[in-house]
Amino acid sequence: MSNSALIKSSIAKKYWMAVTGLFLCLFLVGHLLGNLQLIMKTGEEGRRAFNEYAYFMGHNIFIKIMSYITYASIIFHAVDGILLTIQNKKARPVNYVYNNPSANSSLPSRWMAILGSLILVFIVTHMANFWWKMKISEEIPLHTYYSQTAKDTVYYTLNKKQISVKDIREKGKIEGEKIFYSSKKFNASLENEINQEIIKARNQAEQTGQNINPLDIEKFKTESMEKYSMKEDELIDEGYKDLHTVVMQFFNKDKNPRAIFYLIIYVISMGVLAFHLWHGFASAFQSLGLNHAKYNILIKKAGQGFAVIIPLLFALIPILIFIK
Ligand code: HEM
């Protein structure tokens, strides 16, 4: 490649590094705001808020598109960065005699490729810990709990289907020992399953001498689940995945013997991220040609503030979960 072609391709690579890098900064802000719910609300309220948030993030079409752009940006940013580093090395195989790295560039700038690679390793392992459980594997528990005060308790049957008491009371009718539903939400196999549970429970009750009304279904429940959808009438077929418990247990020293190890990895990674952003943020503006003598110092300071505050708040999340 001729020298000018090399420079042109370097400029293009820098441009796209900047665009994807700034987009990833936006992602960090959004991700941080969502994750802060893990420490801002406690107990059942916090669990519910975070699981509802995770459900929304997984089902909103706009967020889904943003997620795919995020994945593409991470891959593009990493590959582009590696290619740029190789290209720069090739273009200048021997260091200039007058090259004095500490005078010519700040420490993070020379370390950008190494820091970026470490962040990539962090992202891959981090996604294996949480994202994989949430999106791909079926390992994740559902958010189930029983509340005496729930207006509409949803029962969770052996086949992991949900049925609401309100529906049973409003739409069910009893014929002999069986309940029949007029609601379209229930198919024949679900109806059959509920009836099987009622018969089983009635048999058990008879053995212990109890007298049970078949519509008094609370006595037959195996597990129960409060419906906590924001929309009054919406039944969430697959249930809320309990991502909150997964994250909390991950960093909880009593529940996870490796929690201290994960905490250290996360805190170090946030330090690495801080260094990467320290240089990257302002440098992205430069690569996009958005630099102006008047604003350069402002952009630099804003970038440095971003580089410290965002990773610090991210690191605070596992620290607080661990020490509580
Ligand atoms: C240290 C605090 C952090 C916590 C507690 C945390 C937690 C989580 C959780 C629970 C998920 C799964 C969300 C879901 O699938 O619905 C997730 C996804 C993800 N996290 Fe983090 N995260 C942290 C920091 C970071 C950082 C610093 C980065 C980037 C450098 C990052 C990058 C990602 C990415 C790329 C995804 C996939 C996002 C998507 O599917 O749209 N996370 N994180």
Gap from CA of 60 to ligand 1 centroid (Å): 17
Position 289 in a domain: yes
pLDDT value for 119: 98
Is residue 163 lining ligand 1, measured as CB closer than 6 Å? Answer: no
- Put simply, whether the predicted model's pTM sits higher than 0.85 gets the answer no
Task: Identify whether residues 232 and 249 lie together within a single domain.
Answer: no
Position 132 in a domain: yes
Sign of the CA dihedral running 80, 82, 85, 90: negative
Q: Is the pLDDT of residue 311 over 50?
A: yes
The residue whose CB lies within 8 Å of the most ligand 1 atoms, and thus the one to mutate among 131, 275, 321, is: 131
Contacts of 307 (CB under 8 A, 6+ apart): 274, 275, 276, 277, 278, 280, 281
Is residue 52 lining ligand 1, measured as CB closer than 6 Å? Answer: no
Q: What CATH code is carried by the domain that includes residue 84?
A: 1.20.1300.10
Gap from CA of 187 to ligand 1 centroid (Å): 37
CA-closest candidate to residue 25, choices 297, 315, 305: 305
On average, the pLDDT of the chain sits at: 79
- Bigger pLDDT: 217 or 256? 256
CA-closest candidate to residue 79, choices 28, 113, 32, 29: 113
Closest Cα to atom 38 of ligand 1: 67
Task: Identify whether residues 255 and 315 lie together within a single domain.
Answer: yes
| β strands within the chain, DSSP E | 153-156, 162-164, 172-175, 178-181, 223-226
Q: What CA–CA distance (Å, rounded) separates 215 from 199? A: 12
Task: Identify whether residues 191 and 308 lie together within a single domain.
Answer: no
Which token pair is 247?
Answer: 């994250």
Position 148 in a domain: no
Number of domains in the chain: 2
pLDDT value for 147: 39
Position 128 in a domain: yes
Task: Identify whether residues 118 and 250 lie together within a single domain.
Answer: yes
Task: Identify whether residues 123 and 49 lie together within a single domain.
Answer: yes
Gap from CA of 78 to ligand 1 centroid (Å): 17
Is residue 134 lining ligand 1, measured as CB closer than 6 Å? Answer: yes
pLDDT value for 126: 97
Task: Identify whether residues 57 and 198 lie together within a single domain.
Answer: no
User: What average pLDDT does the segment 36-48 reach?
Assistant: 88
Task: Identify whether residues 251 and 278 lie together within a single domain.
Answer: yes
Task: Identify whether residues 34 and 161 lie together within a single domain.
Answer: no
Task: Identify whether residues 199 and 99 lie together within a single domain.
Answer: no
| β strands within 30-164, DSSP E | 153-156, 162-164
Gap from CA of 122 to ligand 1 centroid (Å): 10
Highest mean pLDDT among 3-7, 96-100, 128-132, 165-169: 128-132
Last residue in a domain, options 239, 272, 303? 239
Strands 178-181 and 172-175, bridge-based pairing: antiparallel
Q: pLDDT confidence of 111, banded at 50, 70, 90?
A: confident
Position 79 in a domain: yes
> Are 133 and 246 a contacting pair, CB within 8 Å?
yes
Task: Identify whether residues 225 and 271 lie together within a single domain.
Answer: no
Q: pLDDT confidence of 253, banded at 50, 70, 90?
A: very high
Which token pair is 162?
Answer: 């949900």
Position 19 in a domain: yes
Q: What CA–CA distance (Å, rounded) separates 34 from 50? A: 8
CA-closest candidate to residue 315, choices 253, 259, 273: 273
Q: pLDDT confidence of 304, banded at 50, 70, 90?
A: very high
Last residue in a domain, options 192, 223, 239? 239
Q: Is the pLDDT of residue 229 over 80?
A: no
Task: Identify whether residues 13 and 134 lie together within a single domain.
Answer: yes
Q: What CA–CA distance (Å, rounded) separates 83 from 267? A: 28
Domain residue limits at 49: 3-141+245-323
Gap from CA of 98 to ligand 1 centroid (Å): 43
Gap from CA of 33 to ligand 1 centroid (Å): 11
Q: pLDDT confidence of 267, banded at 50, 70, 90?
A: very high
pLDDT value for 96: 45
> Are 168 and 215 a contacting pair, CB within 8 Å?
yes
Is residue 317 lining ligand 1, measured as CB closer than 6 Å? Answer: yes
Write the DSSP assignment of 206-252 as a string of letters: HHTT----TT-GGGG-SEEEE---SSTT---TT--B-HHHHHHHHT-
pLDDT value for 199: 76
- Bigger pLDDT: 126 or 52? 126
Q: What CA–CA distance (Å, rounded) separates 324 from 322? A: 6
Task: Identify whether residues 45 and 127 lie together within a single domain.
Answer: yes
